[in-house]
């Protein structure tokens, strides 16, 4: 009995210690502002606070003691605190003398802080080491974080730096944080977390490093940092606690969580993390979906996928792929002997990559079937009814290409209109369609009109690819633009009593198809659509 209760007590303590904490920095210029931030952080679900005392004007030992007392009185007593007084060379804001910074940290331990964070470089001074060691020995629970930052690039040798820190102070929690100039720079942070155990903090700064902040939990990092809001971030690439919890399913991440994500550049505007994570949550799947900013061309794309797939322990199950990497994804699948869906091969673009449990790669294009399904379901017809249907497609870019391929496969009679004649003629030639320049639109004669240009997209919502007077009676109109949901083209088509199909239907359909490929289960279409509309209304 006693054994089991002791065992459980130990296990719970162990879980409490080992679970990655979501930490919010308090970065205020005075005590009142700091108190406001503490309340806001506690309200958003912070699991630990970092008091960045180098942000405080008129810093003094008493000021920091007051702040610690406030946190401990205002919050659940178990809310742990890290006190940091960063050196300006390592990202500090106000350049306080070293003696004051050390005094702030050592007295913070006496005032009840659980952790103090000090720069490894400065800790190499024997005099400082002695002061900090003495303060730690007099504290019943205080721990030391020894940190190293590189705001420019990767460390020369991160593994050696990690070992050097532990050699100087084996009880310390090493913190190694560096700027990722490309998402591929994150992999050595992942490797270090994977190859080591115990308490350590390792992640990357910058937009390209966001994924390392999220995956710190999967890989057992001691903490990861989130800000209260966009304004209060203390390092480049820090997301808000709300984004972590609501958008990236932070609370559900476990060591065996399967990873998915959208590969794009830019990626910040993508709605895919919101729709897939909402559906993973609804279905209680042990998956998360990440924004994967892959800058560069084929070479960088290939290295990213090699990096991700080589590390099987990361557990990537699939990717959405969008601008500018759809052709790169096709080339990658071909070069790596993956299965490529025949129509994706013909379109020359892939928007979905699936990795089987055995590591086999397959590549699909869900855009064309998403568009065909949006058309057939709204018009109440079958795919067979598309055979011989006269369709006008405006545009000859990536989306036009997928839709033209799908419609031509279904036997539709297509005429392409495009601003750049050579591009339009080339697409028409490849799929055996007609071509006409944009000034031929007044003579349009089709049962279905599809806008595949970006005309009418936010913020240019007063633009339309075709004046209202040229929309014919009985013509159905499909606008692939999904932001806004109701484009001027669709509003004008409605006035002419035309059946309309919006871009969100296509977007949701391609998301549903990807979800099925990712999970072998069906996502909730209403939830996906509601999530898209919710994102667009912000």
Binding site for ligand NAP (CB under 6 A): 395-400, 418-420, 423, 452-455, 457, 480-482, 503, 506-507, 510
To the nearest whole angstrom, how small is the minimum distance from the Cβ of residue 465 to ligand NAP? 7
Quick one: DSSP state of residue 239?
Answer: P
**3-state SS, residue 231:** helix
* Closest to ligand NAP by CB, 117 or 265: 265
Paired tokens of 146: 């020894």
First to last CA, the chain: 55
List residues with catalytic annotation. 326
To the nearest whole angstrom, how small is the minimum distance from the Cβ of residue 417 to ligand NAP? 9
To the nearest whole angstrom, how small is the minimum distance from the Cβ of residue 503 to ligand NAP? 4
Paired tokens of 449: 């009109």
To the nearest whole angstrom, how small is the minimum distance from the Cβ of residue 422 to ligand NAP? 9
Pair 120, 146: CB distance under 8 Å: yes
Q: Taking the CB of residue 182, how many other CB atoms lie within 10 A of it?
A: 17
To the nearest whole angstrom, how small is the minimum distance from the Cβ of residue 399 to ligand NAP? 4
Ranges assigned E (strand) in 395-463: 413-418, 434-437, 448-451
* Closest to ligand NAP by CB, 328 or 453: 453
Q: Per-residue b/e over 503-534, b at no fewer than 16 CB within 10 Å?
A: bbbbbbbbbbbbbebbbeeebeeebbbebbee
Q: Which long-range contacts (CB under 8 A, 24 or more apart) does 399-404 make?
A: 399/367, 399/452, 399/480, 400/427, 400/450, 400/452, 401/347, 401/348, 401/349, 401/427, 402/347, 402/349, 402/365, 402/367, 402/368, 402/371, 403/367, 403/368, 403/371, 403/450, 403/452, 403/480, 404/431, 404/433
What is 122-165 written as a DSSP string? HHTSHHHHHHHHHHHHT-SS-EEEEEEEESSS--S-HHHHHHHH
Using only the alpha carbons of the chain, give its radius of gyration: 28
* Closest to ligand NAP by CB, 199 or 373: 373
To the nearest whole angstrom, how small is the minimum distance from the Cβ of residue 403 to ligand NAP? 9
The pairing of strands 21-26 and 223-225 is: parallel
> What is the number of the residue whose Cβ is closest to ligand NAP?
397
Helix (H) or strand (E) holding 38: helix 31-44
To the nearest whole angstrom, how small is the minimum distance from the Cβ of residue 507 to ligand NAP? 4
**3-state SS, residue 277:** helix
**How far is CA 460 from its chain centroid?**
27
* Closest to ligand NAP by CB, 132 or 455: 455
* Closest to ligand NAP by CB, 135 or 508: 508
* Closest to ligand NAP by CB, 321 or 355: 321
* Closest to ligand NAP by CB, 243 or 376: 376
């Amino acid at each position: 009995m006693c054994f089991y209760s002791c065992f459980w007590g130990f296990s719970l303590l162990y879980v409490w210690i080992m679970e990655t904490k979501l930490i919010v920095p308090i970065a205020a210029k005075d005590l009142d502002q700091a108190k406001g931030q503490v309340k806001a952080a506690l309200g958003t679900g912070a699991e630990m606070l970092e008091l960045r005392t180098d942000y405080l004007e008129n810093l003094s030992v008493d000021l920091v003691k007051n702040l610690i007392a406030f946190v401990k009185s205002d919050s659940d007593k178990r809310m742990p605190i890290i006190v940091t007084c960063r050196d300006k060379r390592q990202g500090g804001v106000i350049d306080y003398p070293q003696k004051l910074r050390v005094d702030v940290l050592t007295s913070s331990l006496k005032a009840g802080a659980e952790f103090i964070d000090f720069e490894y470089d400065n800790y190499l001074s024997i005099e400082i080491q002695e002061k900090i060691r003495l303060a730690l020995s007099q504290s019943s629970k205080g721990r030391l974080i020894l940190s190293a930052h590189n705001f420019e690039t990767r460390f020369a040798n991160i593994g050696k730096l990690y070992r050097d820190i532990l050699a100087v102070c084996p009880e310390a929690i090493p913190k190694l944080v560096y700027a990722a100039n490309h998402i591929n720079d994150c992999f050595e942070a992942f490797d270090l977390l994977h190859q080591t155990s115990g308490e350590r903090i390792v992640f990357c700064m910058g937009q390209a490093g966001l994924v390392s902040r999220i995956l710190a939990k999967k890989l057992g990092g001691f903490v990861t940092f989130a800000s209260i809001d966009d304004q209060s971030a203390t390092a480049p690439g820090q997301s808000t606690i709300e984004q972590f919890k609501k958008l990236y399913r932070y609370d559900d991440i476990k060591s065996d969580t399967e990873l998915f994500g959208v590969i794009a550049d830019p990626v910040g505007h993508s709605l895919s993390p919101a729709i897939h994570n909402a559906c993973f949550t609804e279905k209680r799947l042990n998956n998360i979906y990440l924004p994967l900013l892959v800058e560069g061309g084929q070479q960088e794309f290939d290295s990213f996928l090699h990096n991700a797939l080589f590390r099987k322990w990361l557990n990537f199950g699939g990717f959405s792929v969008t601008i500018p990497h759809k052709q790169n994804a096709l080339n990658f699948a071909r070069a790596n002997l993956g299965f490529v869906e025949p129509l994706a091969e013909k379109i020359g673009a892939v928007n979905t990559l699936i990795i089987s449990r055995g590591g086999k790669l397959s590549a699909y294009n869900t855009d064309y079937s998403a568009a065909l399904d949006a058309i057939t379901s709204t018009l109440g017809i079958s795919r067979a009814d598309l055979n011989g249907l006269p369709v006008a497609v405006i545009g000859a870019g990536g989306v036009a290409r997928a839709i033209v391929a799908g419609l031509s496969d279904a036997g539709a009679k297509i005429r392409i209109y495009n601003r750049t004649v050579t591009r339009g003629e080339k697409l028409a030639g490849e799929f055996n369609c007609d071509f006409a320049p944009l000034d031929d639109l007044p003579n349009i004669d089709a049962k279905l009109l599809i806008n595949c240009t970006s005309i009418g997209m936010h913020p240019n919502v007063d633009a339309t690819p075709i004046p209202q007077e040229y929309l014919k009676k009985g013509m159905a109109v499909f606008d692939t633009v999904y932001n806004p949901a109701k484009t001027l083209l669709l509003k004008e088509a409605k006035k002419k009593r035309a059946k309309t199909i919006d871009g969100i239907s296509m977007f949701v359909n391609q998301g549903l198809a990807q979800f099925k490929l990712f999970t072998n289960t069906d996502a909730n279409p209403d939830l996906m659509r509601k999530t898209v509309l919710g994102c667009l209304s912000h």
